[in-house]
Structure 1
Amino acid sequence: MKRILAGILLVLVLSTVMSMCISNNSSASSNPLTTSTVQQSTTTTSTTQETSTSTSQIDITKLHFYMFGAAGCPHCGRMKEEIPKQFGKDKFTYYELQGNEHNQKLFSELYSILGVSGVPLIGIFYDNHLVAVIEGEYNVKSTPEIVQVALKENGVVFISGKVYLIPSNHTEIIKKLEAIFMNGEPSEG
C-alpha cells in the first residue's frame, strides 16, 4: 500500500503544480482529520510498472468529477478545460464559489471535515462512489492510477500537499463528503 501511495505522490509531484489560488496553508497538524482517521503515506519508493499494469482494470466511463473553483483562478481554469477534454463534458460538474452562497456553504463544510482551503478542489467518483479528493491542480492523465489505488486500498485517496487514505470503514465521513460533492449548484463558467 505504501509503495503504491508513494508512487502516486511521486507522479503527482513531478507532473503537477500543487499551488492553489486560495491559500493552501493547512498543515497535517491543522487538519481536522486525525491520524486515527487518515493513514498518511510516508515512503518514497515505488515502481511505476505496478501502477500502470493495474490501471487497465479501470473503466473510465464510470468516472465523474465534481469540482469547486473560483472565477479567475488559473488552476481552476486549467482543470475545467483538461478534465472534460480527457474524460468528456458529461463527466464533469463545476461548482463556482464566487457569488454562490450555497456552494460557499458546502465548501465550508469541506473545510470543517478535511481542513482544505484551496481551489480547485476535486472529488473523483467511480461507479457513483467517492474515491479521491484532490486539492489543487493535478495531471488528469494520472486519474486511473489514483482510482486504482483507492480501490485496491479500500478507501478514499485524499491529496492535499501530502497523500492520505481515508479508510472505507469511516462511512460517516465518506457519506458526508459524497453528499457535499453531489449537492452543489452547478455553474457553467
Structure 2
Amino acid sequence: MKAAPIVNIDGLYLEDTLVDDTFSGVVPFYSNMHHGILDVLTTTENVTQPEGEAPNDSESNISGYIIGIPVPPGLFRPCFDLASWNAYESAVSAAQNSYHEALSDWQALPKELRGDMPVRETPLQPALWIEGLTPEEIEELTKPQPEEPTEVDRIGTEMVARELEVIELRQQNEAQGAQIVGLELRLLSLENS
C-alpha cells in the first residue's frame, strides 16, 4: 500500500488515501445524492471513465480525483494541474497511435525494405503539481510572526516586575528609616539642650 493524494475538482490537495502499490494515473471519484445524504464513493482502480461520462448512476457528480503522482516537497498549497495532465495524456495517446501506425506500416513492408524498427517516443511528463497560493499569500504566510510569550517567559516577566517592586519598597523603607533617624536625632538634641 502507498499514500496517494486526493484533490478536489479544482485540483487543490485535500488529503492522502491508501491505495495499492501499482496505482498510477488520475482517477475521479464521485458523490451520489441519496435522499439528500452525500455519500462519497471512491475507486482505486486505474480505470477512468470516458470524458464527460459518469458511472451508471444518473445522479453522480465528480467530487475530486485520486492522483497516482506524489506531491513534491516545498509547496505551500499543492495543486494538481488537471489541464496539463489531460494535455499530457492526449500527447501520450497521440504518440502511441503514431507508433502503432508506423509499426504497422513497417511490418507491412517486405523484410528486405524494412530498415530499422520504429521507436516508440513517449513525451516527457510535465511538472503536474503547482503552487496553489499566490506570491502575496505565500509572503503573508512566511513573514515573521511576533512570538507569543511562553508560560516561562510570562512568569519570568512577572518575577522581574515583583523584584523591581521589592527594590523600590526597600529604597522607600531606607528613606523613611533615614527620616526617622533624623527626627530622633533632632528630638534628642532638643532634649539635651
- TM-score class normalised by the smaller sequence: under 0.3
Give the TM-score taking structure 1 as reference length.
Answer: 0.21
Give the TM-score taking structure 2 as reference length.
Answer: 0.20
Larger radius of gyration: 2
